[in-house]
Amino acid sequence: MRKPPLYDEVHALPVIDVHTHFETLTETFGYTMPQFFYYGCYFNCYRDLFDPSDIACVEDGGRDVREQFCALLRLWEKIRDTRTGRLFSGMMQTLGCRMEPDAFEPLLQWYTGRTAASIRAAMPTVRGFVCNSAGHPLYGGIPGLKQFLDGGRRPDEGMFRTLNVTELHSIRSLQQLQELETVSGRAITDLGSWSDACQTLIDRMKALGLTAFKDVFLYFRSPQIDYPIHETAEREMAAFLRGEGMTQNLQNVMMFRIYELAEAANLPMQIHTGATLYTAGTANYMQDMIRLMQTFPRLQFDLLHLNYPQMESYLTVLRTCPNAWGDATWAFTVDPGYIRRYLDWILDADIPQRHCLFGSDRHCAGLAVQTVLDAMTQLLSGWLSERVESGYLSRSSAMELARMWLYENPKTLFHLDGMVE
């Protein structure tokens, strides 16, 4: 593929990856070599196209690794011309390997021989990573927070940790409250003591260098976010503690309280946006998000994934709420054309300021991150080059936008000034 005129200049810019799932360079979550590529390229997004036996083979960490790799190649054959297929073949090309079973031995040698230094060297322009780790299921959820709180787990240099807060407010069982009691050291007997437990947890995490919060409530509850009715909340909490069901109003009360604590902590809130089971495949729920953002005007909201595939309502939020930030995390993996339309709109509508363009959303550092960044660089430099050639932007203005979206804005949003090069 031919490089756009601005490619080399954009490729040389410093970058902050605003959403990852690793907080150490050598983290693999126990993945085998084929699983590294399978999850690193998001093969699992195409499950309906694959032979179930091949999926089972690759996802079962106890299977023979060579057998897994052969199954992975069969999966690739079915989606070779998709974004995931091209990402995988691009990674293989970088490693000098062909898409054949004979590549197994050199790939296994490369994978087992990776070091922190070689992984860092594979991402030369990435200056920092915002890591979705604490409280995430990959790290044991709420019970897993103990490993962070006791200081036994520390991120590598340049890795900045977020705290997942969904399990603190979208409560669905008494077990979740018991887990919060254990990790916070606070007994929960009513709404006030629940709030104290959450405050304790946030204070301790912030003291350990917390950078942001992350909320994925759209996976677990209705997107309808009504103003909470506090007058009935204590009775609803007492009923829930007796084993009765959780009410949506009580969830709203809890959610608003967590956001109050986040606002007081002066750290941004990353929110998953886009189609999920609870948004009925439309992602058209942004009026509720506007209500939430206007309620907490001092809290900065980083809206991940561009609300794919519903752009119009997303752009309405960016227009309406000065504390809303656009974030293209993972969107490139899904639909590069969607990002181009997004860039067209924010420039033509004259709101190019509050946007973060690169979030790899990868589980492992190194090659997977850089391959996505290279592809994003191709897209961004091509789009900017077209705007320069048309006379809409000067070359210097184009490069200022690229640097702002890739580096300066994330540095500002996550308070990383002086913490990254």
| Percent of the chain's residues with pLDDT above 70 | 98
Please provide the average confidence, as pLDDT, over all residues in the chain.
94
The fold adopted by the segment(s) 119-413 is TIM Barrel (3.20.20)
Residue type, 21: H
Does the pLDDT of residue 142 top 90, yes or no? Answer: yes
Interatomic CA distance for residues 96 and 92, integer angstroms: 6
Three-state DSSP state, 224: coil
Maximum mean pLDDT: which of 221-230, 272-281, 406-415: 406-415
What band does 280 get if pLDDT is binned at 50, 70 and 90?
Answer: low
What local confidence, expressed as pLDDT, does residue 334 receive?
86
Give backbone dihedrals phi and psi of 128, rounded to 5 degrees, phi first: -160, 160
Residue of 398, 388, 379, 267 lying closest to 331 (CA atoms): 379
Interatomic CA distance for residues 315 and 200, integer angstroms: 36
Contact 204, 151 (CB under 8 A): no
Give backbone dihedrals phi and psi of 292, rounded to 5 degrees, phi first: -65, -45
What band does 282 get if pLDDT is binned at 50, 70 and 90?
Answer: low
Residue 20: strand pairing partners = 131
Maximum C-alpha span of the chain: 68
Structure tokens at 380: 């961004």
What local confidence, expressed as pLDDT, does residue 28 receive?
95
Q: Domain map of the chain by residue range?
A: 31-113, 119-413
419, burial (CB in 10 Å: exposed 0-12, middle 13-18, buried 19+)? middle
What local confidence, expressed as pLDDT, does residue 236 receive?
97
* pTM of the shown model: 0.95
What band does 225 get if pLDDT is binned at 50, 70 and 90?
Answer: confident
Does the pLDDT of residue 95 top 60, yes or no? Answer: yes
